[in-house]
């Protein structure tokens, strides 16, 4: 073979290598930057809906922009495509940066989108446009539409989803993450420029605009099907993530299981090896998973762990595999760029519906189950299209009747004695149960407060996690004994139980970011209304409120939870330093409520406190019975007291390990070594959910 024949083959092989390198790398970077930017903005703007909804909307919009850019660009001349891509790559590398830490105003969707656009917009358009654009470049070589590249792209996304919580977040500070990410972006830019150069060289003399590949626009039917399936699988995945986050808290760890199953289904379905019999098998898998999940949890508030979590992941995977298998089967032979654009639009639609509309449409989180039923219905209709109506009737009868029966049975089973009211908004779902004895506030599987209502005296008693012998109750009593008046700040309102401790001269400031929390505390509980002290309810992130305030406090209590976890930005060294600036004048204390099922907060709080010359005392309390005048309706609690080192000995003495002949038992822990593990020091630049999560307990405890 002479050199003239060898040269095109070498360039073709080199181009293929560069394309297969660029596609997963772009997807990896696109998914790795999203949690990185969310963590960056959290301490700047707080955990309000404006912060996380702004991030979500921004990345969804850039996804559409990237796919739209590729759909437009792929129809142009090769020289124009290569030049435009090179210019965009240079802009992406030159303009990327982490947002600065200044917060000029309160968080709002528009402001968050603007700040992210200012620092990352060219990069995000480049990343999201890479896969569909390179589909076009491979198509220019005469190949059929290389749908396998979509599989490879999702492999890169899956790698980012798995690596971020287990490796990137745990080992790298945000500043280091940014540096490495920027370096990989530079590599991607170089790969794209080199691929463009090879494409231009190999297409010399044939740089005309491509002919239109289809006889006209797509008919509405396939477009509607693509949009429907793409939105449904996204809603199902987000619904599953909601249930996991209700247990673990909102962090990248909560996304690992559902999102990995979702991305894996794209990888397998678009690999080119999917066959119709696999789709039929997936329909049965989905039906079995739906039935199993309904048996274990269904529409109830049952805890998602162990067997329930396995059924949830099986249901997420089977729904995603079925939806994406049907999408692959409905792929067009031509005009792939519009197909991908519709898929992106469906994902955006599903994300917006799940985040901004469904919470107001359904008062409780049932969209996961409903999306699964809708996917199963779509699969059965697909069987009808295969001219097998008898199969549809039989399978539908066998599968749907048990699922519907289980749903009805579970709704009846959950019906409590008394009245159950559900509230839902962008921040999640809470329930208020009222019976003849009490009112109980919970969010899905976590109880947040209660009030006994038998008589006027009972209504004024702190209960549950806040009784007199708990860490917070004993601390307040000790401080009250020394101080004629107190100013207390509480992050997280709940039922407003701590207002029961306020005396007439006391001032209690409660901060909460969830507007429905204020309605629930006022409409269903009387702690705030009947408090003897002055109670201020402020709709704001607690950390941001203290940054904006000049007030001094005797006590600051962190009682804020997302699901069963505490937001990380409230526990960093920067946050603690801020708290103690507000506590210094009154010689005050910080309390962290740490009563969680799957988190171990003390090592992180202790190491972080010691890194800024403070001391932490862990107080775990078990109360076996109540008394006529205290500890009504108690439960197992854990509080962490953070103080100055010279205060620690006296404060630890407030909590005897055994009181009243064993009625109250405590485990009191302090630092047992002059050294502490730097891995557990949380800062705004480095904090990781894996540091506190008891993963084995979540996965394997019944």
Query: Is the predicted pLDDT of residue 78 greater than 80, yes or no?
Result: yes
392 part of a folded domain = yes
| Domain shared by 192 and 260, yes or no | no
Query: Is the predicted pLDDT of residue 287 greater than 50, yes or no?
Result: yes
442 part of a folded domain = no
239 part of a folded domain = yes
Query: Is the predicted pLDDT of residue 400 greater than 80, yes or no?
Result: no
Query: Contact, 376 vs 187, CB < 8 A?
Result: no
316 part of a folded domain = yes
411 part of a folded domain = yes
Angle at 306 between CA 303 and CA 308, to 5 degrees: 55
- pTM for the full model? 0.89
Model pLDDT for residues 89-116, shown as the tens digit of each residue: 999 999 998 887 775 556 678 888 888 9
The residue among 322, 305, 353 whose CA lies nearest residue 57 is 353
| Domain shared by 300 and 166, yes or no | no
Sign for the CA dihedral angle at 26, 27, 29, 34 comes to: positive
For 453, the 3-state DSSP assignment is coil
Domain housing 470: 465-700
| Domain shared by 383 and 481, yes or no | no
Burial degree of 416 (CB within 10 A; 0-12, 13-18, 19+): exposed
What is the count of structural domains for the chain? 3
Mean pLDDT in residue range 449-457: 89
End-to-end CA distance of the chain: 67
213 part of a folded domain = no
45 part of a folded domain = yes
Per residue, the 3-state secondary structure of 125-187, as one string, reads: HHHHHHHHHHHHHHHCCCCCCCCHHHHHHHHHHHHHHHHHHHHHHHHCCHHHHHHHHHHHHHH
Query: Contact, 386 vs 476, CB < 8 A?
Result: no
Partnered with residue 538 across adjacent β-strands are 511
| Domain shared by 404 and 499, yes or no | no
| Domain shared by 372 and 284, yes or no | yes
198-212, 281-295, 371-385, 529-543: segment of lowest average pLDDT: 198-212
CATH code for position 399: 1.20.1250
Last residue of a domain, one of 203, 232, 251: 203
Provide the mean pLDDT of the chain.
Answer: 87
Among 133-147, 219-233, 403-417, the range with the most confident prediction by mean pLDDT is 219-233
């Amino acid at each position: 073979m002479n050199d003239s024949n060898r040269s095109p083959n070498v360039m073709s092989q080199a181009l293929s290598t560069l394309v297969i390198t660029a596609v997963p790398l772009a997807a990896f970077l696109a998914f790795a930057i999203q949690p990185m930017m969310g963590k960056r903005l959290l301490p700047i703007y707080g955990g309000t809906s404006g912060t996380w909804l702004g991030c979500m909307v921004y990345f969804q919009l850039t996804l559409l922009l990237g796919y739209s850019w590729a759909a437009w660009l792929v129809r142009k001349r090769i020289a124009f495509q290569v030049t435009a891509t090179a210019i965009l790559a240079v802009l992406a590398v030159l303009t990327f940066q982490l947002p600065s830490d200044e917060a000029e105003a309160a968080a709002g969707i528009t402001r968050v989108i603007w700040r992210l656009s200012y620092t990352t917009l060219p990069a995000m358009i480049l990343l999201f446009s890479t896969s569909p654009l390179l589909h076009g470049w491979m198509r220019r070589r005469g190949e059929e539409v290389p749908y396998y590249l979509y599989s490879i792209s999702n492999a890169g996304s899956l790698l980012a989803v798995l690596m971020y919580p287990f490796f990137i977040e745990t080992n790298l500070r945000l500043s280091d993450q940014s540096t490495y990410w920027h370096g990989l972006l530079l590599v991607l830019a170089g790969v794209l420029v080199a691929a463009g150069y090879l494409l231009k060289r190999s297409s010399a003399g044939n740089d005309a605009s491509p002919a239109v590949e289809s006889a006209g626009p797509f008919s509405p039917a396939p477009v509607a099907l693509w949009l429907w399936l793409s939105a449904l699988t996204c809603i199902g995945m987000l619904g599953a993530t909601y249930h996991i986050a209700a247990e673990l808290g909102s962090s990248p760890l909560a996304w690992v299981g559902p999102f990995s199953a979702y991305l894996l289904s794209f990888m397998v379905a678009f690999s080119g090896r999917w066959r119709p019999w696999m789709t039929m098998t997936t329909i049965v898998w989905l039906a079995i998973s739906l039935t199993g999940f309904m048996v274990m949890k269904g529409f109830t508030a049952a805890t998602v762990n162990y067997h329930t979590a396995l059924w949830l992941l099986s249901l997420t995977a089977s729904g995603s595999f079925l939806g994406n298998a049907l999408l692959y089967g409905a792929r067009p032979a031509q005009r792939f760029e519009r197909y991908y654009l519709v898929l992106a639009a469906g994902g955006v639609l599903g994300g917006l519906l799940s985040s901004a509309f469904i919470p107001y449409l359904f008062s409780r989180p049932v969209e996961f189950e409903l999306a699964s039923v809708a996917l199963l219905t779509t699969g059965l209709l697909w069987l009808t299209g295969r001219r097998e109506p008898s199969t549809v009737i039989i399978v539908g009868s066998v599968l749907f009747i048990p699922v519907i029966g289980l749903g009805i049975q579970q709704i009846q089973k959950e019906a409590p004695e008394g009245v159950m009211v559900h509230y839902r908004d962008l921040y999640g779902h809470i329930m208020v149960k009222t019976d003849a004895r009490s009112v109980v506030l919970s969010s899905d599987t976590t109880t947040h407060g209660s009030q006994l209502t038998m008589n006027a005296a009972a209504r004024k008693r702190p209960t549950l996690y806040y009784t007199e012998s708990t860490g917070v109750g004993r601390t307040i009593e000790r401080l009250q004994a020394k101080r004629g008046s107190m100013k207390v700040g509480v992050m997280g309102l709940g039922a407003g139980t701590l207002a029961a401790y306020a005396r007439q001269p006391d001032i209690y400031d409660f901060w909460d970011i969830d507007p429905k929390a204020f309605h629930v505390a006022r409409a269903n509980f009387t702690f705030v209304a009947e408090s003897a002290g002055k109670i201020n309810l402020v709709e704001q992130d607690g950390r941001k409120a203290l940054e904006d305030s000049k007030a001094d406090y005797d006590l600051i209590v962190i009682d804020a939870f997302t699901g069963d976890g505490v937001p990380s930005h409230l526990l960093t060294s920067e946050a603690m330093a801020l708290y103690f600036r507000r506590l210094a004048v009154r010689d005050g204390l910080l309390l962290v409520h740490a009563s969680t099922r799957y988190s171990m907060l003390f090592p992180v709080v202790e190491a972080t406190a010691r890194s800024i010359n403070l001391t932490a005392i862990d107080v775990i309390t078990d109360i076996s019975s109540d008394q006529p005048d205290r500890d009504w309706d108690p439960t197992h609690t854990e509080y962490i007291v953070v103080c100055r080192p010279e205060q620690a000995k006296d404060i630890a003495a407030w909590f005897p390990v055994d009181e009243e002949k064993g009625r109250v038992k405590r485990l009191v822990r302090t630092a047992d070594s002059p050294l502490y593990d730097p891995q557990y020091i949380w800062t705004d630049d480095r904090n990781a959910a894996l540091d506190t999560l008891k993963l084995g307990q979540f996965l394997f405890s019944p």
